[in-house]
Amino acid sequence: MNFRQIEAFRAVIISGTVSRAAELMGVTQPNVSRLVGELEEAIGFALFDRVKGRLIPTPEGQAFYRDVDASFKGLDLLRSSAARIRDFGSGQIRVASLAAAGSTIVPRAVKRFRQSFPSAIVTLSIMTSASVRNHVVDGEYDLGLAADEVDLSGVEHQVFGSFPALCAIPAGHRLASKKVIRPEDFDGVDYVALSPEDRARLQFDRFCEQAGAKPNLVIETPFAITACALALEGVGIGIVNPLAIDGFAERGLIFRPFEPAVYFKSYLLFRPDMQKARLVRAFVSSLLAVRNVRSAVRVDV
C-alpha cells in the first residue's frame, strides 16, 4: 500500500467515476483502475463493487474511506502549516526583554509589528538581562533584548543601541535647579543605584571616584524603572536608562543630563539562525524603527 494508491481510491470516491478521478490526478483511466486494484490486493478486501461499469463503494470501502479522509484532512493541515511557516515563520514569536525597554519601546514595537502581522502571536516576557541571555541560548525565546553586561559568547547578537543616562531627581531636590548634573554634585547625596554589575553604574562609579565624590548609596535595584519610582518617592537620585522614563515626568519626576556621559548599551540576542526567520526580522525592524521614539521629557530649568 502506498500513497498514490490511496490517492486514487479517494479520487474515485469524491469524483464518483474513474474518468473524473483520472482528471483530478492528471493520469489516464487505466492508471486509476490499476492503482485501485493494487490497493485492494494490498489490503485484502474489495473497496468497490463493479455494477454495470460503475464503481460502488462496498461497506468496507466506505469504512476505509472515513480513515483515509481523516488522513487527508491532516495532510491539508500540514500543507497550511507549511505555507504559513514559509510565508510568515512559525506564526508565533517569543520575545524576552530587559525591564527598561519592556515597558516602553517593546510594546510600541509590538503595536507596529502587528500592523503587518495581525495574526501572529507574540509572547513577551520581562526579566533581567542575564535571564534574557540564558533563555535565548536555551531556545526558549526567539529574540532577546539585553544590557551589555551579559555574556555574549555562544549567542548570535547585534548592537541595538547606546543611550546616554539621565539623572532622575525628586521634585524639590536642590539639584533640580541645575541644568546638568556632574559627578561632584553627588557628593553626600542619597543615591538610588543600579546593580553592581550594570555597566552604566560602573561608569558612574568610576566618574565619581575620579571626582572625589562619595554618593550616599541608600538602595540598589536591577531595574531602571524601579529606580525612577524610588526617585519619584524621594528616596534618592538615580542614574537611569532613558528607555525607562515614560510617564514619570508627567508625575513630577525631574530629569537632567549627566556629564560626562554615561551610556546604557543594549544588544539584540537571537537563537541560532533565528535572524533569518521572517517574523524575527520583522520584529527587529519594528524595534529599530521605534528605539528613538520616546516620550519627550522636560530637562529645562
Phi, psi for 72 (deg, rounded to 5)? -70, -35
Residue after which a domain boundary falls, among 39, 55, 88: 88
Nearest to 168 by CA among 78, 239, 69: 239
How many other CB atoms sit within 10 Å of the CB of residue 74? 10
301 lies in some domain = no
CATH code at position 44: 1.10.10.10
My answer on whether 142 and 281 are in the same domain is: yes
Nearest to 167 by CA among 230, 229, 239, 234: 239
* pLDDT at res. 204: 96
136 lies in some domain = yes
Please report which confidence band the pLDDT of residue 295 belongs to, taking 50, 70 and 90 as the band edges.
Answer: very low
Phi, psi for 181 (deg, rounded to 5)? -105, 135
My answer on whether 255 and 180 are in the same domain is: yes
My answer on whether 146 and 26 are in the same domain is: no
Residue after which a domain boundary falls, among 55, 88, 121: 88
My answer on whether 69 and 21 are in the same domain is: yes
d(CA 294, CA 301): 20
State in Å, rounded, how far the first CA of the chain is from the last one: 84
Residue after which a domain boundary falls, among 40, 71, 88: 88
How many other CB atoms sit within 10 Å of the CB of residue 280? 22
The residue segments making up the domain with residue 186 are 163-264
State the cell numbers at 73: 484532512
- Non-local CB neighbours of 132 within 8 Å, separated by 6+ positions: 96, 97, 98, 141, 144, 145, 146, 150, 269
**pLDDT tens track for 64-92:** 888 888 887 777 666 666 665 565 555 78
295 lies in some domain = no
CATH code at position 139: 3.40.190.10
**pLDDT tens track for 95-144:** 999 998 988 899 999 999 999 988 888 999 999 999 999 999 888 899 99
My answer on whether 52 and 168 are in the same domain is: no
Angle of helix 59-88 relative to helix 278-290, nearest 10 degrees, comes to: 30
My answer on whether 170 and 258 are in the same domain is: yes
* pLDDT at res. 259: 95
Please report which confidence band the pLDDT of residue 298 belongs to, taking 50, 70 and 90 as the band edges.
Answer: very low
My answer on whether 111 and 157 are in the same domain is: yes
State the cell numbers at 192: 538610588
297 lies in some domain = no
My answer on whether 246 and 196 are in the same domain is: yes
Beta-sheet pairing, 216-221 with 190-194: parallel
d(CA 241, CA 65): 64
**pLDDT tens track for 261-290:** 999 999 999 987 776 788 899 999 999 998
Domain count, the chain: 3
Please report which confidence band the pLDDT of residue 218 belongs to, taking 50, 70 and 90 as the band edges.
Answer: very high
Q: What is the mean pLDDT of residues 50-71?
A: 85
**pLDDT tens track for 162-203:** 999 999 999 999 999 999 999 999 999 999 999 998 999 999
* pLDDT at res. 138: 87
Contact 175, 167 (CB under 8 A): yes
Q: What is the mean pLDDT of residues 230-235?
A: 96
My answer on whether 141 and 272 are in the same domain is: yes
N residues, the chain: 301
My answer on whether 175 and 225 are in the same domain is: yes
298 lies in some domain = no
